[in-house]
Structure 1
Amino acid sequence: MEFLIPAMLVLMGVMLFMGTRKQKRQMAEMQEMQESLTTGTRVQLMSGLFGTVIDANRDFVDVEIAPGVVARYNKLAVRGVVPSDEAADTYVGAVLADEDAEPDTALEPGAGKTDDPADEK
């Protein structure tokens, strides 16, 4: 019984140490990403908004969120950089091609209706 309490304290200390270490690593990665922002980088903001970096300085970044619409955000508002192969899907008016999707016939006029009176029962 006297071994149980010190073992639990050591276990709690290890869990606390591992948790703070992971959090510090994530903070360092986020700061590195925010410092590497350059003109033309496609980003996602904390609000979920996608945009293109127009200008970046030490504390702020100017992001074009729609053609001709530029807004200034704090660098801390940048959630992440959108990978270049996915960036085209985040532009306004992008048409996403879903090759596996079947055409939706339920919205066509007369879809699901038949002329057979026996089907109306």
Structure 2
Amino acid sequence: KESSEKYTSSIWGPTCDGLDCIHKSIEIPKLNIGDWVLWKNMGAYTISAAVQFNGLPFGKPLYFMSKQFWDSVKSAFQTVPRKYVVDTSVMRHNSSDCSNEVEDDMLPWILEDFVEDAAVVTIQ
């Protein structure tokens, strides 16, 4: 459940680099361990440049595509990812000075195990 109280925060990427600032100052609800922050267009470097600094594990990738493209993928291949999410309620619009809005017709799907009980925190 998302709190109505907001906190001025900064959001950083996984590289442990001082240049890996996603947002310098943004109002967000209180986050707990295991909460998710959904952000569009983070770039491929977020996985390849990530380090396990202080024992923090690598995040599991989530892949997003339009329903039209997803239908094309399913029809082109005999096998599809073993787990995927078609519930678009986990997607909400977000905005910042470095992100576009997520379209309502985007379907999230994941190639690895999906953490079903994780909270989704959205930036509005």
Specify if TM > 0.5.
Answer: no
Q: Which has the higher contact order (CA 8 A, sep 6+)?
A: 2
TM-score calculated relative to the size of structure 1: 0.21
Structure with greater helix percent:
1
TM-score calculated relative to the size of structure 2: 0.20
